[in-house]
């Protein structure tokens, strides 16, 4: 039996969950989305994800098809209908069906679908060993062209960098902005630790304001760690003591090599492991 998918007003069978070839989400990547985790039947940081989704929509003048409260209920309903205890939700709002041609105002009604399923995380051993990454040659979208806060359906920039990573036989690539400062990984935020200070690039450098990023910053401060948002160069990554990535799917994962240079002692560092543990406990409702 297939999944129950929320499509516009209600649940339908997976086999019925179809959208038009005239949907501008498909024709132009014109839409916004969220990726959200479910832990122990609870939707993680749902309010923060809903808020970001409405802000993304507002920024691109996309009319949301329902109020935040209704959408929150639709997410919860979809999770329950599929009996998801631990999983991943994909919440997508497209510009909707319109004419061929860019004009978004020919789309009368935005499209909504919610998938509650499971997610293929990185293999468990990668959390123990840490991952290798490369610096992508593909420059991150200019933040004044495509605002990095907007989690839009257009991921081509990230996909080009992801291809570079996969061609180099590593799972992730670090993207730099037009000025050469670190922006983010292709689907995760980047952190480094140097001299016990946790550093993360500002959103304006070209990174999504990750929900996981914000939780990890909060947890780190709670541990008494200094956390600073500042521009980072490739050299900062080369000489850091620790590096890790954060994201809804990846959670917190250590990086142990970049561009052939070993980070720290080649294993996920002490602070990375501490924050991963704290995040794990917090997400599963066992932390503060």
Report the distance separating Cα 16 and Cα 156, nearest Å.
Answer: 28
Write down the catalytic residue from 4, 80, 151, 222. 151
Size of the site for ligand PMP (CB under 6 A): 14
Q: Per-residue x/- marks for ligand PMP, 117-146, CB under 6 A?
A: ------------------------------
Q: Which of residues 163-222 bind ligand PMP (CB under 6 A)?
A: 184, 187-189, 208, 210-213
Residue 204 DSSP SS3: helix
Q: How far is the CB of 265 from ligand PMP (least distance, A)?
A: 27
Instruction: Compute the least distance from the CB of residue 159 to ligand PMP, in Å.
Output: 11
Does residue 271 bind ligand PMP (CB under 6 A)?
no
User: Closest by alpha carbon to 17, among 27, 29, 4?
Assistant: 4
For residues 252 and 234, give the distance between their C-alpha atoms in angstroms, rounded to a whole number.
21
Which residue lies nearer to ligand PMP by CB, 24 or 151?
A: 151
- The pairing of strands 242-247 and 31-39 is unpaired
Smallest gap from Cβ 247 to ligand PMP, in A, equals: 4
| DSSP state letters, 47-105 | HHHHHHHHHHHHHTTPPPSS-HHHHHHHHHHHHHHTT-SSEEEEEEEE--B--SSS-GG
Q: 């952190």: which residue's tokens?
A: 191
Residue from 147, 111, 119, 96 nearest 35 by CA: 119
Site map 6..45 versus ligand PMP, x via CB under 6 A: -----------------------------x----------
Determine how many CB atoms are found less than 10 A away from the CB of residue 259.
14
158 binds ligand PMP (CB under 6 A): yes
248 part of the interface to ligand PMP, by CB under 6 A: yes
The verdict on whether 151 is a catalytic residue reads yes
Q: Does 157 bind ligand PMP (CB under 6 A)?
A: no
Select 102 or 121, whichever has its Cβ closest to ligand PMP. 121
Query: Across-strand partners of 262?
Result: 257
Catalytic residue IDs: 151
Residues within the interface to ligand PMP (CB under 6 A): 35, 158, 184, 187-189, 208, 210-213, 246-248
């Amino acid at each position: 039996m297939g999944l129950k998918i929320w499509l516009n007003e209600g649940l339908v069978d997976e086999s019925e969950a179809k959208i038009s070839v005239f949907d501008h989400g498909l024709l132009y990547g014109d839409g916004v989305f969220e990726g959200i985790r479910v832990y122990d039947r609870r939707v993680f940081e749902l309010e923060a994800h809903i808020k970001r989704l409405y802000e993304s929509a507002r920024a691109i003048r996309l009319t949301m098809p329902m109020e935040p409260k209704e959408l929150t209920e639709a997410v919860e309903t979809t999770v329950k209908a599929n009996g998801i205890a631990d999983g991943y939700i994909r919440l997508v709002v497209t510009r909707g069906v319109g004419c061929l041609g860019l004009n978004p105002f020919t789309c009368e009604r935005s499209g909504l679908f919610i998938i509650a399923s499971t997610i293929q995380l990185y293999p468990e051993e990668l959390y123990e060993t840490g991952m290798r990454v490369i610096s992508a040659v593909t420059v991150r979208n200019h933040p004044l062209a495509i605002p990095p806060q907007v989690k839009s359906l257009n991921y081509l920039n990230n996909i080009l960098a992801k291809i570079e990573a996969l061609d180099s036989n590593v799972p992730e690539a670090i993207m730099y902005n037009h000025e050469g400062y670190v922006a983010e990984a292709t689907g995760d935020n980047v952190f480094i630790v140097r001299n016990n200070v946790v550093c993360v690039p500002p959103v304006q450098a070209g990174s999504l304001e990750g929900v996981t990023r914000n939780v990890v910053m909060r947890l780190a401060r709670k541990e008494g760690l200094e956390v600073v948002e500042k521009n980072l160069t490739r050299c900062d990554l080369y000489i850091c003591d620790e590096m890790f990535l954060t994201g809804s799917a990846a959670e917190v994962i250590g990086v142990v090599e970049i561009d052939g240079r070993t980070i720290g002692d080649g294993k996920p560092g002490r602070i990375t492991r501490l924050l991963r543990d704290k995040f794990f406990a917090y997400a599963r409702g066992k932390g503060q």
